[in-house]
Amino acid sequence: MTSNIEDQAAGHHPTLLTVATRKGLWLYHGDPARKAWRADGPHFLGHIINHVVLDPRDGRTLLAAAKTGHLGPTIFRSTDLGQSWKEAAQPPAFATATDGQAGRAVDHTFWLTPGHADETDVWYAGTSPQGLFRSEDGGVTWTPFSCLNDDPVYRQWMGSVQDGTPDGPKLHSIIVDPRNAAHLYLAMSGGGVHESEDRGQTFKPLIQGLDVVEGFDRSDATFHDPHCMRLCAANPDRLYQQNHCGIYRLDRPSDTWQNIGKNMPDAVGSIGFPLVVHPRDADTAWVFPMDGTSVWPRTSPGGKPAVYVTRDGGGTWQRLDTGLPVSQAWWTVKRQAMAADNHDPVGLYFGTTSGELWMSRDEGRHWECIAQHLPEIYAVEAAVRA
Amino acid sequence: MRWKPPCAHSAAPVKVLIPSALRSYTERADAEASGDTLAEALADLDRHYPGIRFRMIDEQQRIRPHIRFFVDGVQARDLAQPLSAAGELVIVQALSGG
């Protein structure tokens, strides 16, 4: 009898991609060889879908963060891989303000993270404006972490709509330590990276070693803008981060991030949004650089898109662009729109701002487009189904 | 804190016209709701179609930016707006974006 990992390595399990877009959700079902893909969608046509995540603990529950241009935000839940959906009874919402105070309202849920493997019904959500929420019933009802959401210091670090990204400040990259359900990381864009060791009762900044925009105080969390943070499953003491000012690695118990973006080619730079880590090799990570010069065009540098990989923890980087357009391709990839499966070799996937879905079944060496003409892609997640 | 609907009301229901964006809840273009005020009518609507109110009213009890209510033909800007028995409430999704 083979182990689950051996089965996956042999490619015996199908892959599911969740593709969240500005106009709805698509699911792509891949055959075990990852060569044939069946599109299932659109779901929620016309809804803005920011993130859709398959629960790895049961392999069939999907949560989708949704809103429309006209209606308030909500969460949809499916327990049959998207065949049917039911709305959350109590979506993420901030506490009602006390008299005389200006309360905040969730504009959209931006990020969804399943809880620890031992906490089977726990989910976390990050929102815009920035807030942290938790569900203990599989995503049906959600409650706010007022200790963070209403803390005056954190509120200052979170800033206002004017301080955030173009469509609002976002709390994202919520990470649960696979060894300890009480150990959490999260990132605030802007507002820095933060850590909790008591199940989210208290948080503390984790920003040492990170650069900020020239002229600002790097000791102030307000000025930090993490774009995407990942923990390595192969070594949960290692974190990678794509940041507004570069690419970083953190090896715990150290509190000081190491700048590994300085090793990227000067002509490409180290600015971007997504970052993906290898499921079994903590020295391997992939990024998708974008043009962060002058007014921040947020396009592929020079109109020549490429993924960059490091296989030595950020010491060196190699360009991976075989199969990608060689010129005049001005799209980019958003922070949630790049993912890896856990096959061997690892499959990589990204969705573009121009609505194309690309994949590589050999860890980025060769790329092919598996879908075109979708709406702008906001998030891609890959899951290998048991 | 989660908003709690008040108790059901016994007044003659108003006719509520539902915009297309909210018909996933009602599965029809019109509905009925009871209440002396807009707030009460929306609470009653939410009892029959759970979740519909939060798509229109945020957690601070503010009307969401692209939602408009018209009570007997006059725009209502306040949830305390009185309703007339057997009147009409029109919910409009303002057009925006692309």
What count of residues does chain B have? 98
CATH of domain B14-93: 3.10.20.30
What's A163's DSSP letter? G
Asked whether A223 and A216 are in contact (CB, 8 A), the reply is yes
Domain-located, residue A326: yes
Which chain B residue has the Cα nearest residue A72? B55
pLDDT band with cut points at 50, 70 and 90 for residue A361: very high
Exposure on the CB side of residue B22, measured as CA atoms within 13 A = 31
- Dihedral class, residue B63 (left if φ above 0, else alpha if ψ from -120 to 50, else beta): beta
Strands (E), B14-54: 14-17, 30-33
pLDDT score recorded for residue B5: 56
Asked whether A357 and A28 are in contact (CB, 8 A), the reply is yes
Q: What domain range is A267 assigned to?
A: 1-93+105-384
Q: Taking the model in full, what pTM does it have?
A: 0.93
B69–chain A nearest CA distance, Å: 13
- The answer to whether the CB atoms of B22 and A105 lie below 8 A apart is no
- The answer to whether the CB atoms of A74 and B55 lie below 8 A apart is yes
What's A8's DSSP letter? H
pLDDT tens per residue across span A209-260: 999 998 999 999 999 999 999 999 999 999 999 999 999 999 999 999 999 9
Among B26, B38, B42, B33, which Cα is nearest to B10's?
B33
Could you identify the residue written with the tokens 């891949």? Answer: A30
pLDDT score recorded for residue A181: 98
Read off the pLDDT of each residue in B90-97 and give the average, rounded to a whole number: 79
Among A375, A371, A329, A369, which Cα is nearest to A355's?
A375
- The answer to whether the CB atoms of A72 and B93 lie below 8 A apart is no
Which residues 6+ apart lie within 8 Å of A161 measured at CB?
Answer: A129, A168, A169
Read off the pLDDT of each residue in A153-175 and give the average, rounded to a whole number: 86
- The answer to whether the CB atoms of A96 and B60 lie below 8 A apart is yes
pLDDT above 60 (res A134): yes
Whether B20 has its CB under 8 Å from any CB of chain A: the answer is: no
Asked whether A374 and A21 are in contact (CB, 8 A), the reply is yes
pLDDT tens per residue across span B46-92: 999 999 999 999 999 999 988 999 999 999 999 999 999 889 999 99
Among A183, A187, A364, which Cα is nearest to A288's?
A364
pLDDT above 60 (res A164): yes
Read off the pLDDT of each residue in A347-368 and give the average, rounded to a whole number: 98
Question: Chain B partners of A68 at a C-beta cutoff of 8 Å?
Answer: 21
Could you identify the residue written with the tokens 């919402």? Answer: A93
Give the whole-angstrom CA distance, residue A335 versus residue A160: 21
Read off the pLDDT of each residue in A174-200 and give the average, rounded to a whole number: 97
Asked whether A307 and A287 are in contact (CB, 8 A), the reply is yes
pLDDT band with cut points at 50, 70 and 90 for residue B3: low
- The answer to whether the CB atoms of A93 and B54 lie below 8 A apart is yes
- Strand, coil or helix: A126: strand
Residue of B20, B23, B59 best to disrupt the A interface, most CBs of A under 10 A: B59
Which residues 6+ apart lie within 8 Å of A150 measured at CB?
Answer: A95, A144
Whether A71 has its CB under 8 Å from any CB of chain B: the answer is: yes
pLDDT above 90 (res B14): yes
Domain-located, residue A356: yes
pLDDT exceeding 90 applies to what percent of chain A? 88
pLDDT score recorded for residue A100: 73
Alpha-helical (H) ranges within chain A are 4-9, 146-149, 152-158
How many domains would you assign to chain A?
1
A44–chain B nearest CA distance, Å: 10
pLDDT above 90 (res A122): yes
Domain-located, residue A229: yes
Residue of A43, A71, A75, A84 best to disrupt the B interface, most CBs of B under 10 A: A71
Domain-located, residue A98: no
Q: For residue A87, give both structure tokens.
A: 């709305």
Read off the pLDDT of each residue in A279-302 and give the average, rounded to a whole number: 93
pLDDT score recorded for residue A160: 77
Whether A43 has its CB under 8 Å from any CB of chain B: the answer is: no
pLDDT score recorded for residue A176: 98
pLDDT above 80 (res A12): no
What's B67's DSSP letter? E
Asked whether A324 and A289 are in contact (CB, 8 A), the reply is no
Asked whether A321 and A305 are in contact (CB, 8 A), the reply is yes
pLDDT above 60 (res B28): yes
pLDDT score recorded for residue B12: 83
What's A280's DSSP letter? S
CATH number at residue A336: 2.130.10.10
pLDDT score recorded for residue A7: 43
- The answer to whether the CB atoms of B54 and A95 lie below 8 A apart is no
- The answer to whether the CB atoms of B59 and A69 lie below 8 A apart is no
Could you identify the residue written with the tokens 């487009």? Answer: A369
Which chain A residue has the Cα nearest residue B60? A96
Among A280, A384, A380, which Cα is nearest to A49's?
A380
SS3 content of chain A, % helix, strand, coil (to 5): 10, 40, 55
Give the whole-angstrom CA distance, residue A236 versus residue A123: 19
Which chain B residue has the Cα nearest residue A140? B51
Domain-located, residue A100: no
A330: number of Cβ within 10 Å: 17
